[in-house]
Amino acid sequence: MPRTEKLFERRLRRPLDDETRRAIESEYQRRRHEIPIPTQMKWHQTHPRFTISSPLLSFIVNFTADERMVVDAELSLAARMLASDANRKQAVAFIESIAVDLGL
Protein backbone atom coordinates (compact mmCIF):
# COMPACT_ATOMS: atom_id res chain seq x y z
CA MET A 1 0.00 0.00 0.00
CA PRO A 2 1.45 3.40 -0.95
CA ARG A 3 2.49 5.81 1.77
CA THR A 4 2.20 9.57 1.30
CA GLU A 5 4.83 12.02 2.46
CA LYS A 6 5.00 15.78 2.01
CA LEU A 7 8.10 16.76 0.04
CA PHE A 8 7.68 20.47 -0.44
CA GLU A 9 5.41 23.44 0.16
CA ARG A 10 5.65 27.07 -0.81
CA ARG A 11 3.55 30.15 -1.42
CA LEU A 12 2.53 30.89 -5.01
CA ARG A 13 3.60 34.15 -6.60
CA ARG A 14 0.36 34.25 -8.60
CA PRO A 15 -2.86 32.24 -8.68
CA LEU A 16 -3.33 29.19 -10.86
CA ASP A 17 -5.44 29.83 -13.97
CA ASP A 18 -6.26 27.96 -17.19
CA GLU A 19 -3.34 29.47 -19.08
CA THR A 20 -0.96 28.38 -16.32
CA ARG A 21 -2.43 24.87 -16.36
CA ARG A 22 -1.70 24.62 -20.08
CA ALA A 23 1.81 25.97 -19.52
CA ILE A 24 2.46 23.37 -16.79
CA GLU A 25 1.33 20.60 -19.14
CA SER A 26 3.57 21.95 -21.88
CA GLU A 27 6.58 22.16 -19.55
CA TYR A 28 5.99 18.61 -18.36
CA GLN A 29 5.90 17.36 -21.96
CA ARG A 30 9.00 19.36 -22.85
CA ARG A 31 10.99 18.20 -19.82
CA ARG A 32 9.68 14.70 -19.12
CA HIS A 33 12.96 13.25 -20.47
CA GLU A 34 14.57 14.62 -17.28
CA ILE A 35 12.56 12.16 -15.17
CA PRO A 36 14.52 8.89 -14.99
CA ILE A 37 11.42 6.64 -15.22
CA PRO A 38 8.36 6.62 -17.51
CA THR A 39 5.57 8.81 -16.09
CA GLN A 40 2.18 10.24 -16.95
CA MET A 41 0.71 13.57 -15.94
CA LYS A 42 -2.98 14.05 -15.25
CA TRP A 43 -4.99 16.95 -13.87
CA HIS A 44 -7.74 16.18 -11.35
CA GLN A 45 -11.15 16.80 -12.90
CA THR A 46 -12.53 19.03 -10.15
CA HIS A 47 -9.64 20.10 -7.89
CA PRO A 48 -6.65 22.31 -8.71
CA ARG A 49 -4.06 19.53 -8.60
CA PHE A 50 -2.18 17.25 -10.90
CA THR A 51 -0.42 13.95 -10.49
CA ILE A 52 2.77 12.76 -12.12
CA SER A 53 2.50 9.01 -11.77
CA SER A 54 4.47 5.83 -12.37
CA PRO A 55 3.98 2.28 -11.07
CA LEU A 56 6.38 2.80 -8.14
CA LEU A 57 5.64 6.36 -7.12
CA SER A 58 3.47 9.37 -7.79
CA PHE A 59 3.89 13.06 -7.13
CA ILE A 60 0.73 14.99 -6.32
CA VAL A 61 0.94 18.75 -6.72
CA ASN A 62 -1.92 20.59 -5.00
CA PHE A 63 -2.72 24.27 -5.41
CA THR A 64 -4.53 25.34 -2.24
CA ALA A 65 -7.19 28.01 -1.69
CA ASP A 66 -4.69 30.07 0.32
CA GLU A 67 -2.40 30.19 -2.76
CA ARG A 68 0.15 27.57 -1.77
CA MET A 69 1.69 24.77 -3.80
CA VAL A 70 2.04 21.51 -1.87
CA VAL A 71 3.94 18.55 -3.32
CA ASP A 72 3.30 15.10 -1.86
CA ALA A 73 4.84 11.80 -2.90
CA GLU A 74 3.00 8.48 -2.82
CA LEU A 75 5.60 5.74 -2.60
CA SER A 76 5.14 1.99 -2.89
CA LEU A 77 7.07 -0.21 -0.46
CA ALA A 78 9.74 -0.81 -3.11
CA ALA A 79 10.04 2.91 -3.80
CA ARG A 80 10.35 3.68 -0.08
CA MET A 81 13.24 1.24 0.14
CA LEU A 82 15.01 2.79 -2.87
CA ALA A 83 14.21 6.47 -2.39
CA SER A 84 17.10 8.45 -1.02
CA ASP A 85 17.20 12.04 0.20
CA ALA A 86 19.06 12.89 -3.02
CA ASN A 87 16.20 11.40 -5.10
CA ARG A 88 13.66 13.40 -3.12
CA LYS A 89 15.67 16.59 -3.60
CA GLN A 90 15.93 15.92 -7.33
CA ALA A 91 12.15 15.48 -7.61
CA VAL A 92 11.50 18.69 -5.67
CA ALA A 93 14.06 20.56 -7.80
CA PHE A 94 12.31 19.41 -10.98
CA ILE A 95 8.87 20.60 -9.84
CA GLU A 96 10.25 23.79 -8.29
CA SER A 97 12.13 24.68 -11.48
CA ILE A 98 8.93 24.40 -13.52
CA ALA A 99 7.12 26.60 -10.99
CA VAL A 100 9.90 29.21 -11.11
CA ASP A 101 10.06 29.11 -14.93
CA LEU A 102 6.30 29.80 -15.05
CA GLY A 103 6.41 32.53 -12.40
CA LEU A 104 4.31 30.58 -9.90
The pLDDT, as a whole number, for residue 7 is: 86
The pLDDT, as a whole number, for residue 93 is: 84
Give the torsion through C-alpha atoms of 22, 24, 28, 30, to 10 deg: 70
Does the pLDDT of residue 73 top 90, yes or no?
A: no
Does the pLDDT of residue 19 top 70, yes or no?
A: yes
- Cβ(104)–Cβ(16) below 8 Å: yes
Question: For the domain that residue 33 is a member of, what is the CATH number?
Answer: 3.30.310.50
Q: Measured in whole angstroms, how far is the alpha carbon of residue 13 from the centre of its chain?
A: 17
The pLDDT, as a whole number, for residue 100 is: 86
Chain segment 20-33, per-residue pLDDT in tens: 999 999 999 999 88
Nearest to 89 by CA among 65, 67, 73: 73
Chain segment 36-72, per-residue pLDDT in tens: 888 999 999 999 999 999 887 888 999 999 999 999 9
Domain count, the chain: 1
Domain carrying residue 77: 3-101
